[in-house]
Amino acid sequence: EEAKRWFDNREADRKALETSDALYGRYNGSNVIVIQLEAFQNFVINRKIGNAEVTPNINKLLGTSLYFSNFYHQTSQGRTSDADLAANVSLQPLPTGSVFIRYAQHTYDSMPQTLKDHGYTANVFHAYDGGFWNRNMMYDQLGYDTFYSKNAFVIDEPLGWSLGDRSFFKQSVALMKKEKQPFYSFLISLTSHHPYALPKTAQTLDVGTFKGTIFGDYLEAVHYADAAIGVLVDELKTAGLWDRSIFMFYGDHDNSIREWEPFESFLGKSLNEADRFRILKGVPLVVHLPDDALAGTYGQVGGQLDVTPTALHLLGISSADKAMIGTPLITGQLKREEQQSSNKQVVFRNGAFTDGDVLYLPSEDGLPEHSKCYAFATGAAAADAAACQAGAAKAREELQASDLVVEHDLVPMLHEGSGP
């Protein structure tokens, strides 16, 4: 009943938005192509090292895309699999372990299944062992038609753990080209995986004083991943898919580098606790719409749980009765770069949250008096600490509702009484 109450409230909000919003259904019938980029953090976007851009291809793409500069990953111990869950299922990860491993037999409302119910084909692409993170089982459960894992690819660019992202993207587009449209394709990159050291031949960025450090290797790796995105966009254009598809990518999680000195030296400023949290959790979300519409930088806060509701909203497929937590980010209420505050909360697994006005960080010892409440923009102590306590209670409710659904397999129960 507790979970049902929570999701019923969410349903009412979504229904109201779907009936009133001008962008609902504007891209009805488009393909959906979503890329999850390994360890790709937001702080590298639009940055230079020496005279070279770290992400030149992505920076160029921003000219015709929506860029969410206050978008956050919501992963926990399940890392890449948690990001996948957040983006495709719109539920929170668990406090321990990975939902993909612990609860792959449970029922979920997912992006692939929802799109399939509306006539789409749905495929997932990742050039690594199909059993890693229990993907074989989980992807079956989420409704994908085909999981193209390592065996489906020719390893003609061996790099890092497996196939290099450039060749992975090229081969994935070749497979997509043969697919019946409209389709949903979910691609998971891999080359920029920890510990990031690429062979000399793949290093094309002069990282200056960071050379020989893990931070320098990370910059090289994201520079490679950026070049791979450039290849992917070109391939999609050549294949005639670019202007028939909603294309989006986001980073899955942070890069696990915990010394702050190289970040400060790269960014040229010292970082307070709120800055550090925002850098650690900040991943880019970039959305390209088929007609290049709405391009710009948007400052409203969002998180990975919003990916599926955002895509469904643009397609005009209702997510109102789905057991999904996120809310659409691309609506008539879009907020430009300087406007961060929003009436939504991005909730993190440890109970932290932000609404763009405040950033609440719970204490590690669990004592409320040790929790922190910062002004989101500056990291100074927030003027309205009471707002943090009310928000923290709401964040706990969201996590609790999600855990009840995941652990007790409540999605079928939530659908009882509602239509098919």
- Token pair 């160029």 in the structure block, residue: 60
Residue entry with tokens 């389709």:
183
Is 252 annotated in a binding site? The answer is yes
Q: Which is nearer to ligand GP9, 69 or 80 (CB)?
A: 80
Nearer CB in complex with ligand GP9: 168/298: 168
Decide if residue 134 touches ligand GP9 (CB under 6 A): no
Q: What region does 143 belong to: left with phi over 0, alpha with psi -120 to 50, or beta?
A: left
Tell which positions 20-49 bind ligand GP9, by CB under 6 A. 38
327 is catalytic: no
Count interface residues toward ligand GP9 (CB under 6 A): 8
Contacts of 364 (CB under 8 A, 6+ apart): 370
If the CB atoms of residues 47 and 194 are measured against ligand GP9, the closer one turns out to be 194
Which of 29, 132, 145, 262 is the binder for ligand GP9 (CB under 6 A)?
132
Closest residue to bound ligand GP9 by CB: 79
Closest by alpha carbon to 37, among 4, 71, 7? 71
Q: Is residue 308 within 8 Å of 89, Cβ to Cβ?
A: yes
**By rule CB under 6 A, what string of x and - marks binding of each residue 168-207 to ligand GP9?**
--------------------x-x--x--------------
| CB of 400 vs ligand GP9, minimal distance in Å | 25
> Does the protein bind ligand GP9 through residue 149 (CB under 6 A)?
no
CB atoms within 10 A of CB 16: 11
**Tokens (6 digits) for 231:** 């290849």
Q: Can you tell me which of 4, 79, 278, 372 binds ligand GP9, judged by CB under 6 A?
A: 79
Which member of 19, 55, 75, 80 is catalytic?
80
Say whether 80 counts as a known binding-site residue.
yes
In angstroms, give the least distance from the CB of 211 to ligand GP9: 25
Q: Does 74 bind ligand GP9 (CB under 6 A)?
A: no
Q: 253 labelled as ligand-binding?
A: yes
Does 128 contact ligand GP9 by CB under 6 A?
yes
Residue 80 to residues 7, 100, 113, 189, 355, Cα–Cα distance (Å)? 26, 10, 20, 10, 24
Q: Which residues of 339-376 are buried (b: 16+ CB within 10 A; e: fewer)?
A: ebbbebbbbbbebbbbbbbbbbbbeeeeeeeebbbbeb
**Residues numbered 279-308 forming contacts with ligand GP9, rule: CB under 6 A:** none
* Contact between 260 and ligand GP9 per CB under 6 A: no
- C-beta closer to ligand GP9: residue 34 or 188: 188
Cβ at position 187, least distance to ligand GP9 in Å? 12
Nearer to ligand GP9, 31 or 255 (CB): 255
At closest approach, how far in Å is the CB of 188 from ligand GP9? 6
Among residues 188, 147, 195, 146, the alpha carbon closest in space to that of 169 is found at 188
Q: CB 277 → ligand GP9: shortest distance, Å?
A: 20
For CA atoms 394, 400, 404, 407, the dihedral sign is positive
Q: Tell me how far apart the alpha carbons of residues 302 and 289 are, in angstroms, rounded to a whole number.
A: 18
Supply the minimum distance, in Å, between the C-beta of residue 39 and ligand GP9. Answer: 7
What's the rounded Cα separation, in Å, for the pair 170 and 189?
Answer: 12
End-to-end CA distance of the chain: 20
DSSP string, 264-317: HHHHTS---HHHHHHHHHB--EEEE-TT-TT-EEE-S-EEGGGHHHHHHHHHT-
- Specify binding-site residues: 38, 80, 193, 252-253
- Specify binding-site residues for Mn(2+): 38, 80, 252-253
Which residues are part of the catalytic machinery? Answer: 80
Contact positions toward ligand GP9, by CB under 6 A? 38, 79-80, 128, 132, 188, 190, 193
